[in-house]
Amino acid sequence: MQRASLYRMAATTAVAVTMMTACLLTPSGAGAQTVRRSVEEFVAAQGTYASTYWSPVGNHFPWSSPDYFALIDYAGVANRWLIANGGRDLGTTITGTVTERPLKDGSAEISVVLHTKNAMTLVSFPGVWRILPVEDRPLYMGATVQGIMAGAEPALAECQLQARFTIVAPGAPLPDLQAPEAWVNMMQLSIRGCATGALHEAFGVTEGTPGKCTIDQTGIFHANWKGATEDGFPAEHIDLRVVGR
């Protein structure tokens, strides 16, 4: 074989190897472009969508089970309302991460993890949250912001919320989880938490009995919508009991 041909073969091989290496090192999808977004931006967006059942506090995503209905101030919305209106600071703190991953269709996937301490919590009976504002329904545990302003003691929780949804484009504003654009594009939503506080007579105990509520809810919104996933939530656990039982 002529030396020139060998040189050409070697050069061609080198180019091929270089291109293969570049392909291996170049991200094949948008996942490698994942960036951090501001937790503060996400938190500030919560409670901005029209409130229907936790008036006067901005909306929170509600959690329910066959036996209970619960609201947890996972984004500090109720605490901010109390402070802004001259009430107590409940010491609510929020840490976590918000990441953004561009998708091939031009949208972006957002993954949120919030870890909240001292989150105001309310627990009531199920089936009424769509028709009764929280201040008009009997509470099993906790106090409304109006009650706290009047001196009532709140129930407080430590919880972790996780959410995964898409937004229209990388860098687009982060939505309130209650807003239609977030709900329509929701992929997963879950919360795990434990709250302690005084139980009320509506729960069938002496007013002020120490209580504990554990919440474990998992929503998967790309399921087959059958059986346990019929409403998107294969896990809907809320347990309320007297402390020590």
Average confidence (pLDDT) per 10 residues, the chain, 245 residues: 37 37 38 86 90 71 88 95 96 98 96 98 76 69 93 97 96 91 88 97 96 94 48 75 88
Regarding whether 235 and 143 lie in a shared domain, the answer is: yes
Regarding whether 78 and 4 lie in a shared domain, the answer is: no
Mind giving me the DSSP string for 1-29? --HHHHHHHHHHHHHHHHHHHHHHHS-SS
Regarding whether 22 and 133 lie in a shared domain, the answer is: no
Regarding whether 23 and 138 lie in a shared domain, the answer is: no
Give the pLDDT score at 102. Answer: 97
Regarding whether 130 and 19 lie in a shared domain, the answer is: no
Regarding whether 128 and 107 lie in a shared domain, the answer is: yes
Regarding whether 194 and 160 lie in a shared domain, the answer is: yes
pTM score: 0.79
Q: Tokens 């120490």, residue?
A: 210
Residue 8, domain extent: 1-29
Regarding whether 205 and 190 lie in a shared domain, the answer is: yes
The span from the CA of 73 to the CA of 94, in Å, is: 10
Regarding whether 85 and 59 lie in a shared domain, the answer is: yes
Regarding whether 9 and 104 lie in a shared domain, the answer is: no
Give the pLDDT score at 29. Answer: 44
Give the pLDDT score at 58. Answer: 78
Give the pLDDT score at 53. Answer: 59
Regarding whether 3 and 61 lie in a shared domain, the answer is: no
How many structural domains is the chain composed of? 2
Give the pLDDT score at 222. Answer: 60
Regarding whether 99 and 19 lie in a shared domain, the answer is: no
Could you say which DSSP state residue 32 is in?
G
Give the pLDDT score at 163. Answer: 96
